[in-house]
Structure 1
Amino acid sequence: MRRLALALILTLAAGQSVAAPCGDTSRGFETWKAAFAQEAARAGVGQRGLQALAGVRYSQGTIAADRRQTGVRYSLQDFMRIRGVDAIVSGGRKRKAANPAFYASIERIYGVPAGILLAIHGMESGFGSGFGKYHVLSSNATVAYDCRRSDFFSGHLIAALKLVDRGWLDPNAIGAAHGEIGHTQFLAGNVLEYGRDGNGDGRVDLYNLSDAMVSTAHFLRQKGWRPGRPYAEGTRNFRVLNEWNAATVYQQAIAIAAARIDG
């Protein structure tokens, strides 16, 4: 055991790569955080991002929410009622009527109609009325540390720290339980890859409506959305919605709400 401990110390002293040790309780979180900071630095995270990482805390709320997940088991009718699709349609129509040129310009560039964007916006954040209640970086770090989720979320945590470096994400930003960000609840890696500056301020800020709508349209287009084609269930565009959310009832509800908004 002494030899093993000495070898580990020498490895760390030499600056060699040691994987951050995942865990399933809060007990090892601070040790993991120190090791992950080395990984983040090697991945190109700068000083601002590393300082933000140093301040994150283990989120019991995130773990509780993650462990409660059982998948969507509602019928379409029940799902639409529970998620308030009638209210989403009503709100979507009002927003489209209030700013038709904005949504027309997005469709002209990306080919994604207003109804789809507004249905997603309504479904994800109630048109910006609720971004979540969790500290984004702490939530993301918690699931990146959790052994069940680290393979998927570690990359998103690196991305979130890079967003902090760029000034695109406030270190104290609030989002959903797994670190989803802004009006349409992007994960950080998707912000880096698909995010677009919709208001011309040189930043990609998913808490800004223009940036969020343009980024969502760009995401769908990059995933295979075909401009001017139908999006009802069974079409190619409907299948693209699986890239946004894997639950069939979610996809169905988005397509139905979108058709009513655009109708």
Structure 2
Amino acid sequence: MSIWKPVLLALLISGASSAAFAASCSNSAGGYEAWKAEIAAEAAAQGVGAKGLAALQASSYSRETISADRNQKSFKYTIDKFMQVRGADTIVKQGRGQKAKNAALYAALERQYGVPAGVLIAIHGMETAFGGYMGGTNIVSAISTLTYDCRRSDFFRPHMMAALMLVDRGSITSQSVGAKHGEWGHTQFLPGNALKYGVDGDGNGRVDLNNRVDALASTANYLRQKGWRPGQGYQKGQPNYAVIKEWNAASVYQEAISIMGARIDK
């Protein structure tokens, strides 16, 4: 899930106020170690436990994350260029195969959440090439670095707290890896969204977004919770197009998902 989703998460623990701590931020790596001590007090006040705090202390400043955050050029392309660069034809072709191979799963997800296969498959293909590459960046380090960085610290802070809580729960560890902005799993959930919308799709008692079924069920749940209307269209001007915007605020991404989804569903 792209970091461009515009809606900030609510405080994860009611009554806790990050303003009471006001950890500093910086646009250089030099103060990161001192900052970890500052932000740890805020994390503890929001309910992060020993495992989460230990993961924070074990984190390191991620230069690759900062580089990626400064160079997101593809969202400025035209829709035709964007789809070409992102391999839309391949996603559609492989996506049709995914739908045929896993027809029962997608039918069950649509019955439960109302989201058609094409949309879920297009997102899955766009985000990680159907799980082919889910990232190699330490999740806690990435999301903590973005919280430390002054550019969008307020946006990433709740996601950092959520990542530490996911460590406490055993959903991820201090060594878990994901995309360069700290996104996790097959469809690239930011930690706060994973904590709030994650679903145990395969019924094994835990939410693991590196598990394909859990990730797809969580994606469908996210879209439904954001207002997806079962049986309604998702092309431009149709009711569910606005919900795709909740997944990613970049207009070319939204349009690409709607186009690919329709081609897959056909």
Same fold (TM over 0.5): yes
Counterpart Cα distance in 1 of 2:131 and 2:206: 19
1:96-128 deviation digits (Å, cap 9, x = unpaired): 111111110000000000110000000000000
> Which of 211, 216, 238 does residue 213 from structure 1 map onto?
216
Partner of 1:25: 28
Deviation of the 1:34 alpha carbon: 0.7
1:115-161 deviation digits (Å, cap 9, x = unpaired): 10000000000000011221111010000001112101111000000
Residue type of the partner of 1:39?
E
> Which of 106, 121, 140 does residue 143 from structure 2 map onto?
140
1:84 aligns with 2:87: yes
Deviation of the 1:18 alpha carbon: 3.4
Deviation of the 1:182 alpha carbon: 0.6
Greater RCO (CA < 8 Å, at least 6 residues apart): 2
After superposition, the CA RMSD in angstroms is: 1.1
CA 1:71–1:86: 2 relative to 1, 3 Å = closer
The share of aligned pairs that are identical, in percent, is 56
Partner of 2:177: 174
Structure 2: give runs of 5+ residues left out of the alignment: 1-19
Residue type of the partner of 1:198?
G
Number of residue pairs matched by the alignment: 247
> Which of 56, 59, 67 does residue 64 from structure 1 map onto?
67
1:119 aligns with 2:122: yes
TM-score w.r.t. the length of structure 1 is 0.91
Residue type of the partner of 1:115?
G
1:161 aligns with 2:164: yes
Residue type of the partner of 1:28?
G
> Which of 169, 191, 194 does residue 191 from structure 1 map onto?
194
Counterpart Cα distance in 1 of 2:28 and 2:62: 10
Deviation of the 1:70 alpha carbon: 5.0
Counterpart Cα distance in 2 of 1:224 and 1:236: 9
Counterpart Cα distance in 2 of 1:72 and 1:100: 32
Counterpart Cα distance in 2 of 1:185 and 1:117: 12
Deviation of the 1:60 alpha carbon: 0.8
1:256 aligns with 2:249: no
SS at 1:182 equivalent:
coil
Larger of the two Rg values belongs to structure: 1
Structure 1: give runs of 5+ residues left out of the alignment: 1-16
TM-score w.r.t. the length of structure 2 is 0.90
Residue type of the partner of 2:131?
G
Deviation of the 1:170 alpha carbon: 2.5
1:97 aligns with 2:100: yes
Residue type of the partner of 1:48?
K
